[in-house]
């Protein structure tokens, strides 16, 4: 339950962030937004820092979220983004 409480606390810090699913495994957390963007959180360590990075990223790039396949916040001080490849 401590992982769920920690996630709940951090998610409350990000307004208008709508999740469809949260997967909690023994050493990793993955979230899926309602827009089908996967967010790789990694382990519970440094959760506050990870969500702070995510909050700042969403503050700047929320409009680009629909063209994003996944966001990876597992690494310290980094946000890795993979855009959807729109080939015609």
pLDDT digits (tens, 9 = 90+) for 7-60: 888 888 887 788 899 999 988 999 999 889 999 999 989 999 999 999 988 888
For residues 66 and 61, what is the distance between their CA atoms, to the nearest angstrom?
A: 10
Sign, CA dihedral 56-36-25-28, equals: negative
For residues 18 and 27, what is the distance between their CA atoms, to the nearest angstrom?
A: 23
Per cent of the chain over pLDDT 70 is: 95
Q: Model-level pTM?
A: 0.84
For residues 22 and 73, what is the distance between their CA atoms, to the nearest angstrom?
A: 15
For residues 88 and 85, what is the distance between their CA atoms, to the nearest angstrom?
A: 10
pLDDT digits (tens, 9 = 90+) for 23-32: 999 889 999 9
């Amino acid at each position: 339950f401590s992982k769920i409480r920690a996630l709940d606390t951090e998610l409350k810090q990000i307004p208008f962030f709508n999740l469809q699913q949260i997967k909690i495994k023994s050493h990793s957390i993955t979230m899926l937004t309602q827009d089908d963007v996967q967010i790789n959180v990694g382990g519970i360590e440094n959760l506050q820092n990870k969500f702070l990075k995510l909050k700042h990223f969403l503050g700047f790039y929320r409009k680009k979220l629909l063209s994003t396949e996944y966001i990876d916040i597992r690494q310290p001080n980094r946000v890795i983004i993979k855009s959807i490849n729109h080939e015609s």
